[in-house]
Chains A and B, each alone.
Chain A
Amino acid sequence: MSAPRPQDPNARAGWVDWLERRINLSEIFSFLTHFGFVITPVDTSRPVREVMRELAETPVPKYASGPRVLGLLTAILFALEAVTGVLLAYYYKPTPEAAFESTRTIVRDLPAGWFLHQMHAWGAWLLAAVVVIRLLRLFWDGLYRAPRELLWWTAVAMVWLVLQLDFTGRLLTWDAHSYWATVRGMEVVFALPIAGPILAFLLGGRVVNDDVLIRFYALHVMVLPTLYAACVYFTFATLRRVGLSPTPEGRPEATTTFRSHLYTMLMLTVGLFGVLVTLATVVPFRFLSAADPYVTPGGVRPPWYMLAPYAVFQWLPVPHWISGLVLLALAFGVLLLPLFLRGDGSPASRRRIRLAGVVVLAVWIAMSAAGALLERR
């Protein structure tokens, strides 16, 4: 660590220098950059002002625009979810007796509580959409091929985590639909041949009760977000090694300064915030009645990402353990895509793979539509 230099004419003897003499600020800054602020390594032996000034003028490739922005959105939306989630956790009580009441207190009685609740719900909706669209984009551009397998796996893991965050978060409100959607989902999970009993043990039994609720809560606020943050780190760690996704052929890489990149990111955050506020105000999620373990309401459907398997299993009444296995196989199948779809890199093989992807996606969308319209048997 270099000594502070009070003789430097540019340095002001302010709180930064006061701190700089006591802790290595560049080191902290460097740590933060690992989560995506900057993709160049930081020299931690120099004072933070100098590092940042130099960094601000460093040319960086534009990655806050075009399809690359999707990766950035997964991080920004997650940060918004974390902030609103923490504020919600101040008032939420994870017991079956108090869960619904405390949620209603937040939404109905707290000033701006409805706003936090709706922001969190819409943020989750957008985050799920963004991670899925990002996965589709990575597939479309063949970004699962060497050397980007880790990027793909991380992206798949992020989809898993977001869907599980959504699944666990849904139960927390303990309203009629979330409760029964969870009961139905857990039936499939617990029926898995070997994993089922283990999961039943880890999630607190086969009956959706207070044990399950507190475990879902712990998963939702601690375990899964931590894993997701680790995934964000991994994403940028791979990017630092293998580089950003290549630009389309024949187009040169546009560069910008790090300062303007930061501004772009700030604008993106503000814009996203505006979109969320608009959605939360104009199309708020309906507030439902409390869960009753003895009354199943009509019209309970799984969330949008599970509508396709829901439609299939409604048509084909197979045992739960088979449907669970099929879903598990699908999830792992997507993960292992780089091993199956290598191709020879020629435009022809790439077209074939893309076509297959489009067909699978079209079938999935059609089945989802069927699931949304299907009358429950």
Chain B
Amino acid sequence: MTTTRRPSALWRPGAGRGGAVASGLVPPPALTALALALLLLPALAALALAQPGNPTPAVSGSAPKSPASGRCGVCHPAERVQFEKSQHAEEDVRCTSCHGGDDRSLEVAIAHGAGFKGRPARKDIPALCASCHSSESRMRAYNLPVDQFALYQTSGHGRRLARGDTRVAVCSDCHGAHDILPPKDPASRTFIPNIPKTCGACHGDSALMGPRGRPDVLRQYLGSVHARELYDRSNLRAPTCVSCHGVHGAAPPTIGDVDKVCGQCHTAERRYFMAGAHHPATNGKRGPECASCHEAHTVEAAQPDRLASSCGQCHAKDPKTLALGRRIWTDYRSAADEVEKAAALTAQAEAVPLQTDDYRARIEEARTYLREALPAAHAVEEDVVAAFTTRARSVGHEVQSEIYGKLGHLRQRKFVLILFWFYLLLTLFVLKRYRDQGARKA
């Protein structure tokens, strides 16, 4: 009602002035004011609602909730702000759930009274979190796993903690203490692109890792093809730390397991590797693993030229094996060159234009063979790679010769042109004869 009264009050002085000017032609001033007021009503109502001073109407039916931080936030405002945004606050976990005490009182003696635990010690944190997160009955509603604590105890972190080393990661180091967010939240420490930074908080800290003889693996990872895939191409399926090391059970893959870990994604490479001479099942002794050639954290994109150089790392004194690597590399290179030559010719044919859809499809086919030749090289056997490179090379050859044939057909046009000019000159000569005859007659 206040809004309806306000415009008419506003317009009353104006109405009086209008009345002095108006004679019988205009409607009575009070009526004009009323009409104007009615017209302006929605706009003014909106204005009035938008004014900051007006109390916004409470959503009916929902009683005001006491904040999950209770009255603790009065003295601990920074913690309160962090906690109120967290997933735990949403689910009615309270300060007292972890810290004990009484959150209804502002008296320190009562609030920090019976059952008050204060700041939990680092060594106690995993068990504290597990008191809820290992309970199937509590976690069932969220469809969350309950084995994190058990896994943690098997991890490098957990085993060191059990030995009394508290300078290892506990739950709060990766998930945060008060500001825990679900891993799907982009602000969360456990959101996929944030994981390298979360692990790197310790593993990228040379002051912490140096004394333990560990390299700065965050820096190494950030230079890898995996990190480029994750950050430059925003591919959330690209591997981060946890993809190879595990999440709560984080530990470096043991020797002999590396190919299994990498093979989770690089299935074809692993298949050939297992069939090849390098795999222990084949040669009966411990052989090289993925990381022997590709490194563990600084993994680079496929580099076929490694075929020519990597073998020397172990087989430097074995010219026969060295030559094998170089032969595989040369074979691959020549096949790739043939395919690229065919692709360049196709582009040339397209500019004529010739029908090239078929050639494009076949070049794609040849490129697929080449792509398969690279995993096949992990078998370190010439014949296995040659099965693919030979096919790629022959497709490249076929496409080239077919396009050369068609382009040669175009060259014939130029020979026809000579014939054409012969007839053209003949025509001109005949026309000239007719012209000159006519001129003579005249």
* A interface with B by C-beta (< 8 Å): 56-57, 104, 107-109, 114, 256-257, 259-260, 263-264, 266-267, 270-271, 273-274, 277-278, 281-282, 284, 286-289
B420 in contact with A274 (CB, 8 Å): yes
Provide the residues of chain B in CB contact with A108, threshold 8 Å: 352-355
Provide the residues of chain B in CB contact with A57, threshold 8 Å: 442
Residue B142 interfacial (CB < 8 Å): no
- Our pick among A107, A266, A271, A282 for the contact of B414 (Cβ within 8 Å) is A282
A277 in contact with B417 (CB, 8 Å): yes
**What DSSP secondary structure best describes chain B's contact surface?**
helix
Complex: how many Å from CA A270 to CA B351? 29
A263 in contact with B434 (CB, 8 Å): yes
Q: Interface code B36-66, partner A: CB below 8 Å = 1, 0 otherwise?
A: 0000000000000000000000000000000
Complex: how many Å from CA A289 to CA B352? 11
B417 in contact with A270 (CB, 8 Å): no
Provide the residues of chain A in CB contact with B355, threshold 8 Å: 108-109
In the complex, which range does the number of interface residues on chain B fall in?
20 to 34
Provide the residues of chain A in CB contact with B163, threshold 8 Å: none
Q: Interface code B1-32, partner A: CB below 8 Å = 1, 0 otherwise?
A: 00000000000000000000000000000000
Q: How many A-B residue pairs have CB under 8 A?
A: 60
Counting chain A CB atoms within 10 Å of each CB, which of B355, B413, B417, B431 scores highest?
B431
Complex: how many Å from CA A284 to CA B351? 10
Counting chain A CB atoms within 10 Å of each CB, which of B414, B421, B427 scores highest?
B427
A57-B442, A271-B428, A282-B417 given; A287·B353 CB < 8 A: yes
Q: Interface code B157-195, partner A: CB below 8 Å = 1, 0 otherwise?
A: 000000000000000000000000000000000000000
Q: Which of B401-442 contact A (CB under 8 A)?
A: 413-414, 417, 420-421, 424, 427-428, 431-432, 434-436, 438-439, 442
Provide the residues of chain B in CB contact with A109, threshold 8 Å: 355
- Our pick among A56, A257, A281, A288 for the contact of B417 (Cβ within 8 Å) is A281
Complex: how many Å from CA A289 to CA B353? 10
Residue B350 interfacial (CB < 8 Å): yes
A257 in contact with B438 (CB, 8 Å): yes
- A32 CB to nearest chain B CB (Å): 21
Provide the residues of chain A in CB contact with B442, threshold 8 Å: 57, 257, 259-260
Provide the residues of chain B in CB contact with A259, threshold 8 Å: 435, 438, 442
A274-B421, A281-B413 given; A267·B432 CB < 8 A: yes
Complex: how many Å from CA A274 to CA B422? 10
Complex: how many Å from CA A266 to CA B355? 38
A278 in contact with B417 (CB, 8 Å): yes
A107-B353, A281-B413, A281-B414 given; A260·B420 CB < 8 A: no
Further contacts, 17 of them, CB under 8 A, given A108-B352, A267-B435, A273-B424: A56-B438, A57-B442, A114-B352, A257-B442, A259-B438, A260-B435, A260-B442, A263-B434, A270-B431, A274-B420, A281-B414, A281-B417, A282-B417, A286-B351, A287-B351, A287-B353, A289-B350
Provide the residues of chain B in CB contact with A270, threshold 8 Å: 424, 427-428, 431
- Give the top 6 A-B pairs by smallest Cβ distance, nearest first: A263-B435, A287-B353, A274-B424, A260-B435, A259-B438, A286-B351
Complex: how many Å from CA A354 to CA B387? 75
Provide the residues of chain A in CB contact with B428, threshold 8 Å: 267, 270-271
- Our pick among B352, B420, B438 for the contact of A287 (Cβ within 8 Å) is B352
Provide the residues of chain A in CB contact with B413, threshold 8 Å: 281
